Amino acid sequence: MTTVQPNNAGNGSGAVARLLIVGPQGSGKGTQGVRIGEAFGIPVVSTGDIFRANIKEGTPLGQQVTEITQRGDLVPDELTSEIVRDRLTQDDAAAGFLLDGYPRNAVQVRHLDEFLAAKGEKLDAVILLDVARDESMARLRQRAVDQGRADDTEEAIAYRLDIYERETAPIIAVYGERGIVDTIDGTGELDAITARILSALEARGIVPATV
Ligand code: AMP
């Protein structure tokens, strides 16, 4: 499948690290994901960014997902997983990747497991950015004002947080059973949050090759 990819490839200088960052909308996972991706020299694969880029370019995929994303609903699992598999098969993801926004429910966890297991791979760590719902809502309202994102209406924000709590929060338990979840306090200064994430990964022996 050919999809428009946002330009967020890593710099290729890091070690192999297969990571997932998860948290409610407004937790700052997009911002922190980019920082961690840069630190490790691995591409950040954000399904939300891929969908937004395709909507902006008016590709067939973009047209297919415009209404779904505006409602705050999830794009069908098969389609989303196909896009991610396609992206993770590209050369720059061979040395690792950081997933942001995928997997988002139990079916997508299974799809990712199957894809990685077929290559003898697995996720190394799951970074859970912990931010209270009220704080997420406040940040998302501010982002709607600052960035004018079409999917950031008040209703859509609340709806997406509901979906997160219902469908995405439970997958953390699945990864928790595997012992790979690091829960990180997502409040405070951006640099402090990044440092918390890096030290949690370091405690697992996951360190950027260049440090
Ligand atoms: P995000 O920026 O991650 O909040 O994603 C924006 C929108 O893209 C979501 O509200 C969904 O409509 C869609 N989306 C992103 N990632 C996924 C996913 N893993 N599965 C299904 N839909 C997704």
CATH code at 36? 3.40.50.300
Residue 163 lies in a domain: yes
Residue 209 lies in a domain: no
Whose C-alpha lies nearest to ligand 1, atom 9?
A: 69
Number of domains, the chain: 1
Residue 41 lies in a domain: yes
Q: What is the number of residues in the chain?
A: 211
| Residues with pLDDT less than 70, the chain | 1-15, 149-151, 210-211
Residue 29 designated active-site: yes
For residue 145, the model assigns a pLDDT of: 85
Ligand 1 pocket mutation, candidates 75, 80, 162, criterion most atoms within 8 A of CB: 75
At position 197, the amino acid (one-letter code) is: I
Instruction: Summarize pLDDT for 71-107 with one digit per residue, the tens.
Output: 889 999 999 999 999 999 999 999 999 999 999 999 9
Q: Has this prediction a pTM greater than 0.95? A: no
For residue 10, the model assigns a pLDDT of: 42
Whose C-alpha lies nearest to ligand 1, atom 19?
A: 102
Domain that residue 199 falls in: 17-203
Cβ burial 146-177 (10 Å sphere, 16+ → b, else e):
eeeeebbeeebbeebbebbeebbeebbeebee
Half-sphere exposure at residue 53, Cβ-oriented, CA atoms within 13 angstroms: 14
Residue 172 lies in a domain: yes
For residue 151, the model assigns a pLDDT of: 67
Residue of 29, 52, 139, 196 with catalytic role: 29
Residue 4 lies in a domain: no
Cβ-contact 131, 26 below 8 angstroms: yes
